[in-house]
């Protein structure tokens, strides 16, 4: 029985997994607090995690109808993320593991997003290429099996969700703006403006979204108020199209280069309707199977951390007491 904790950014999450069955997944979002500032404020996030972590764990145990004494393994995200935010989860997990005398597992957030694909309703089996696109990360990973990964590409600057949120902000939309831009773009012309696609050379699987953001900034300056007002949806659609083009093109290229006929998507940006449509079309034309987990498993949650923890080795006592939180970091602990 696994109790998993995830506090890497602005969601306080706990989940219980009984063998291969997910029995509870609780997410307490702090979005409304950060919306006041137009982005996640690390110190505010840490303070909220401190207040929320115990009640969220209690809620998960209650929802799963499980007592702490039945837990045999504690899993926690320890990288990458906001240090202060991660530390709340890591310290809580250490304290629970120590007091119960049970196993402790440190999980990479990225590995968690990948492991969301192993959960019901449609569990996916490796090998597959996974695109993780959220407000914090944009990575393409070759998942050979449950324990073996190759990072094929990642963003060199902004994450895809961050680029959409910052673009939305320039357009005067709310925070986080990805979903609002998606809705606005639905009635716009994606060819109204041709925005640049970063690192668009064949074979390059890394991303760069800072150029498109700067291009939007200068475009808006040039266009002026009236044209922006009239063509708001067209501008949003064109901007979003550039981000989606990079995500789809590089993910398909990664699958083809690795002779892989399965693609999975994870992270909050996978809710984007244009990305889903374009990726389904592209996969269809290449005979690639595409799987996108339900939205609650794509955005940050602790179910994915529990899922990943099933395949990781526990860190013995007392070594786990010195496990730290890391702002960056990939797969191996
Ligand atoms: O995975 P997530 O919930 O948290 C992070 O780890 O960042 O992803 C949040 C990101 C935000 O940037 C948000 O704007 C984006 O996902 N997002 C969307 C949509 N819904 C959420 N981006 C584009 N289209 C959407 N429909
Ligand atoms: Zn995430």
Closest by CA to 130, choosing from 141, 122, 119, is: 141
> Quick check: 333 pLDDT over 50?
no
Rounded to whole angstroms, how far apart are CA atoms 63 and 209? 40
Q: What is the fold, at CATH topology level, of the domain defined by 2-114+298-322?
A: Nucleotidyltransferase; domain 5 (3.30.420)
> Quick check: 105 pLDDT over 90?
yes
Tell me 291's DSSP state: E
Span from the CA of 14 to the centroid of ligand 2 (angstroms) = 14
Coil/strand/helix, residue 93? helix
Alpha helices in the chain (DSSP H): 31-35, 42-64, 83-100, 109-115, 160-170, 178-185, 210-223, 225-230, 232-257, 273-285, 295-298, 303-309
Summarised one tens digit per residue, pLDDT across range 176-191 is 899 999 999 999 999 9
Summarised one tens digit per residue, pLDDT across range 138-197 is 999 999 999 999 999 999 999 999 999 999 999 999 888 999 999 999 999 999 999 999
Closest ligand to the CA of 113: 2
Q: What is the pLDDT of residue 191?
A: 97
Span from the CA of 242 to the centroid of ligand 2 (angstroms) = 22
Best mutation site among 34, 175, 178, 181 for ligand 1 pocket (most ligand atoms within 8 Å of CB): 178
Model confidence, pTM: 0.94
HSE at residue 195, side-chain half, CA atoms within 13 A, is: 33
Q: What is the DSSP string of 297-326?
A: HHSS-SHHHHHHHTTSPPBPTTGGGG----
CB contact at 8 A, 142 and 194: no
Rounded to whole angstroms, how far apart are CA atoms 244 and 232? 18
- Closest-CA residue, ligand 1 atom 16, reads 268
**Residues around the ion ligand 2 (C-beta < 5 A):** 134, 300
Summarised one tens digit per residue, pLDDT across range 214-238 is 999 999 999 988 889 999 999 999 9
Q: What is the pLDDT of residue 57?
A: 98
CB contact at 8 A, 77 and 7: yes
Span from the CA of 241 to the centroid of ligand 2 (angstroms) = 22
Q: Which helix (H) or strand (E) holds 140?
A: strand 138-145
Tell me 137's DSSP state: -
- Closest-CA residue, ligand 1 atom 19, reads 179
Span from the CA of 160 to the centroid of ligand 1 (angstroms) = 9
Q: What is the pLDDT of residue 37?
A: 85
The domain segmentation of the chain, as residue ranges, is 2-114+298-322, 122-293
Residues enclosing ligand 1, CB less than 6 A? 9, 134-136, 161, 164-165, 176, 178-179, 182, 267-269, 271-272, 299-300
Rounded to whole angstroms, how far apart are CA atoms 109 and 18? 21
CB contact at 8 A, 240 and 192: no
Band of pLDDT at residue 136, cut at 50, 70 and 90: confident
Band of pLDDT at residue 125, cut at 50, 70 and 90: very high
> Quick check: 32 pLDDT over 90?
no
CB contact at 8 A, 188 and 234: yes
CB contact at 8 A, 279 and 265: yes
Within a 10 A sphere around the Cβ of 120, how many other Cβ atoms?
Answer: 11
Task: Report whether CATH 3.30.565.10 matches the domain 122-293.
Answer: no
Find the length of the chain.
333
Rounded to whole angstroms, how far apart are CA atoms 246 and 199? 9
Q: Which helix (H) or strand (E) holds 2?
A: strand 2-6
Band of pLDDT at residue 43, cut at 50, 70 and 90: very high
Mean pLDDT, all residues of the chain: 95
Q: What is the pLDDT of residue 35?
A: 85
Band of pLDDT at residue 332, cut at 50, 70 and 90: low
Q: Which of 44-48, 175-179, 193-197, 326-330 has the lowest mean pLDDT?
A: 326-330
């Amino acid at each position: 029985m696994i109790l998993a904790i995830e506090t890497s950014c602005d969601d306080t999450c706990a989940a219980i997994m009984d063998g291969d069955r997910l029995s509870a997944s609780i997410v307490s979002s702090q979005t409304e607090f950060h919306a006041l500032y137009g982005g996640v404020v690390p110190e505010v996030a840490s303070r909220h995690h401190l207040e929320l972590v115990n009640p969220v764990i209690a809620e998960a145990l209650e929802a799963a109808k499980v007592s702490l004494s039945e837990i045999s393994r504690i899993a926690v995200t320890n990288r990458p993320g906001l240090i202060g935010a991660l530390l709340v989860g890591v310290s809580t997990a250490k304290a629970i593991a120590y007091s119960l005398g049970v196993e402790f597992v440190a999980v990479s957030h990225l590995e968690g997003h990948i492991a969301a694909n192993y959960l019901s309703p449609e569990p996916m089996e490796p090998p597959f290429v996974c695109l993780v696109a959220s407000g914090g990360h944009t990575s393409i990973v070759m998942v050979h099996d449950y324990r073996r990964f190759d990072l094929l590409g990642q963003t060199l600057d902004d994450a895809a969700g961050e680029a959409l949120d910052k673009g939305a902000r320039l357009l005067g939309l709310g925070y986080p703006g990805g979903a609002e831009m998606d809705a606005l773009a639905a009635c716009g012309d994606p060819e109204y403006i041709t925005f640049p696609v970063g690192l668009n050379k064949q074979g390059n699987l890394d991303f760069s979204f800072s150029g498109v953001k700067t291009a939007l900034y200068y475009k808006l300056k040039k266009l002026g108020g009236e044209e922006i007002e009239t063509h708001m949806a067209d501008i949003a659609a064109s901007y979003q199209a550039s981000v989606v083009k990079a995500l789809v093109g590089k993910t398909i290229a990664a699958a083809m280069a690795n002779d892989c006929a399965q693609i999975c998507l994870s992270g909050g940006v996978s809710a984007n309707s244009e990305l889903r449509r374009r990726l389904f079309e592209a996969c269809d034309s290449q005979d690639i199977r595409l799987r996108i987990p339900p939205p609650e498993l794509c955005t940050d949650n602790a179910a994915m951390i529990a899922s990943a923890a099933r395949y990781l080795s526990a860190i013995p006592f007392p070594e786990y007491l010195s496990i730290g939180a890391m702002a960056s970091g990939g797969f191996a602990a």
